[in-house]
Structure formats: C-alpha cells, structure tokens
Amino acid sequence: MRHDATLYLHFPCFDGLISGVLASDLLEQQGWSFKRFCPVNYDLRAGWASDRLDTPSAVVDFLYHPDAQFWADHHSTTFLSQELRLDYERRKEPWLLYDSAAGSCALLLWRNFSGWLSSKRANYQEMVDWADKIDSANYADVREAVFGDTPALVIHRSLIIRSDAEYCGFLIQALRNGSLGEVAKLPEVRDRSNESRALIDAGLASFRVSAHLEEGEIVFFLLDVKPNEIVSRYAPFYFFPQARYSIGLVRGDRSAKITAMRNPWIEFDSVPLGPIFERYGGGGHHRVASVILKGERLGEAEGILRQLLSEIQRQDTAYFEPLRRALA
C-alpha cells in the first residue's frame, strides 16, 4: 500500500492531463492513494533533478526523476544528464516507461496498461486518441487546430487560462468519472473555454501585425502579449500556410516564452527542435519545443530567440544543402 502519494503531471497540457487520469486510476488499483495532484512545467527544469519529490510519487509526461516510483514519458529531452539516463537504465522496472517514438504519453500508458483500465475502456480510448492527436499536432487542418470545438478541444482550450493545481485535480476526477462530452459541458470547463476562444481571436489580430517570414521559410514573431490576448501556437501557419517552421517570443510582465514548431501540414524532415531548445533550458519533441524565461533571464530573451533562429537555420541548411546540390 502506498498512502498519501503525489502525482506529478505535465500541465497545462492535454496529454499530461489524460496521462494523469490513466496513471491515477491504474495506481489506485495497485493500492496507491493520492493526496494531491501536482502540475509541473519546464520552468522547473533547472532544479528538477536536485529537488526531492514527495514519497511515494508518480511522474507522467515529464522529465525523469530518480525519486519517482512510477514514471512514464515520451519526450526526447527527458533525461537532464547522462547520469540520470544511466539511473533509468539501471533500474529498468515495469513501472518505469519511456519511448521517444510514442506520439503521446497517454498512448504509451494505454499500450502498456489498458488491460488494467478495461472498466472504462470506451471513455479512456477516446481520451487517449485525442491526447495523441493533440500532442502530435495531427489535426486535419489549421482551422481545426485553432478553432476546433469538439469536446476534447473544448477541454484543451480551457487549460489555457487559470490552470492551477485546483483545476488540474478537478479535471482528473471529472474525466475519471465521465466522458469527454460530459466533462466539456461542465460550466467550469465551458466558461474557461469560451473565455480562451475570445482571447485567441484577439491574439490572432495582434500576431498578424508582428509576424514575418525569415530565411528558410520560418515565421518569426515577437509579441508583448496583452492581458486580453492569447497567441495560439498555430497562428503562424494560419497566416503563413506555406511556412516550414515558426519561432517566436511571447513576453508578459513576469515571464517570456519562446516556442518553435515545424509546420505539421507540410511533410519534410525537421531539424530536432527539442534538443536545440534543451541547450537553453527548455525542451520538447523533435517537431515542437519551448523554453520559459523568468527573472534575470528575461533580459536575455530576444538574444536567445535570435540564437535559436540562427541554429535552426544553420541545421536546416546543413541537412538540405547536399540534397539541393544533388537535385540541381
């Protein structure tokens, strides 16, 4: 029995949320009892490995930690050092899952433990399918990504604002007891989603003014976000559908976030964005990455943005130049 456990999950992230739903259900069947659900994000990266976790603890859709008794992740940047990777290799326990080829952490958990979760199979299968679609950016088109209104996307949009530990715990319990359609109709979810949609619409107007194409068909933007605006990560490809990548800085009063993404609607071999961002204290996947800057690093934000742009251009040119020469 593992009483008073803590579940750490990547949040606000739809994949992290659904991974938390699956892991908490699975582990409670194994005798765990959770006292709290703890949202974590990449602004914790610098001290993550050295900080001690609660005991017992589970971590899903986030960086590897040697204190975790249960851990699952699919990010290529999950190991903060070679020592941590070796620690994982040494332990090799059934409750430690890693696959960088998995499109989502929820899918990784489902592939390994769906037999334990069969009592809610239909609901959970739908959640996993959407988590994998959202985390893989496997949308039908950019309009679905920005404006989609299915139950999963309503919940996903609700995560954008005021996503604290209380809302995280509320959603985990609600999704364990209801379907996506039922949870999306809850007033707490619908109100947040509607508010986010209005902020996204306002953000699109500001984005169009600030964005332009850089060499390599890369959408570049730098925004001082207003309180009544949210910038969708898909805004670059809404206005520049022919672009191959996007990179930009969204700056607030106390933090700044640099994000990069390859266009998911154009098929080509992307440079590894996650490892590039890892050098600057961020992380992510091969095709999408981000870094959050706070405190003293705020003053470095524009410089880091330019360095990241240059590195993406350099690696992209190095990869494609031999191919261009061969085809010339």
For residues 257 and 246, give the distance between their C-alpha atoms in angstroms, rounded to a whole number.
13
Q: What pLDDT is recorded for position 325?
A: 54
Tens of pLDDT, residue by residue over 241-256, are 999 999 999 988 788 9
**What is the distance, to the nearest Å, from the Cα of residue 282 to the centroid of all Cα atoms in its chain?**
12
Q: Are strands 96-98 and 70-73 parallel, antiparallel or unpaired?
A: parallel
The amino acid at residue 162 is R
Residue type, 223: L
- Range from 27-41, 276-290, 297-311 carrying the lowest mean pLDDT: 276-290
Q: Which of 115, 91, 88 is nearest to 100 (CA)?
A: 88
User: For all residues of the chain together, what is the average pLDDT?
Assistant: 93
Domain residue spans of the chain: 2-188, 211-327
Angle (nearest 5°) at CA 264 between 263 and 266: 70
Element (H or E) spanning 262, and its range?
A: strand 255-262
User: Is residue 95 scored above 90 in pLDDT?
Assistant: yes
Q: How large is the average pLDDT for residues 223-247?
A: 92
Q: What angle do CA 149, 150, 155 make, to 5 degrees?
A: 85
* Residue 40 to residue 10: CA distance in whole angstroms: 5
Residue with tokens 């520049």: 240
Whose tokens are 């703890």? That residue is: 38
Q: Are 13 and 159 in contact (CB under 8 A)?
A: yes
**What residues does 93 pair with on adjacent strands?**
none
Over residues 274-291, the mean pLDDT reads 90
Contact 37, 9 (CB under 8 A): yes
* Single pTM value for the model: 0.86
| Best CA proximity match to 284, nearest among 52, 90, 8, 10 | 10
* Tens digit of each residue's pLDDT (9 = 90 or more) over 153-205: 999 999 998 889 999 999 999 999 999 999 999 999 999 999 999 999 999 99
**Confidence band for 321, pLDDT divided at 50, 70 and 90:** low
pLDDT score recorded for residue 320: 58
Right CATH for 2-188 from 3.90.1640, 3.40.720, 3.30.70, 1.10.3470: 3.90.1640
Closest CA to 114 of 123, 104, 125: 125
Per-residue pLDDT of 144-153, as tens digits, reads: 999 999 999 9
| pLDDT of 48 higher than 70 | yes
Give 211-327's CATH code, choosing from 3.40.50.300, 3.40.250.10, 3.40.50.10490, 3.10.310.30. 3.10.310.30
Residue 50 burial by Cβ neighbours in a 10 Å radius (0-12, 13-18, 19+): exposed
- Count the Cβ atoms, other than its own, within 10 Å of residue 121: 12
Question: Which residues are within 8 A (CB) of 220 and not within 5 positions of it... i.e. 6 or more apart?
Answer: 211, 212, 213, 214, 246, 247, 248, 309
Q: Which pLDDT band holds residue 327 (cuts at 50, 70, 90)?
A: very low
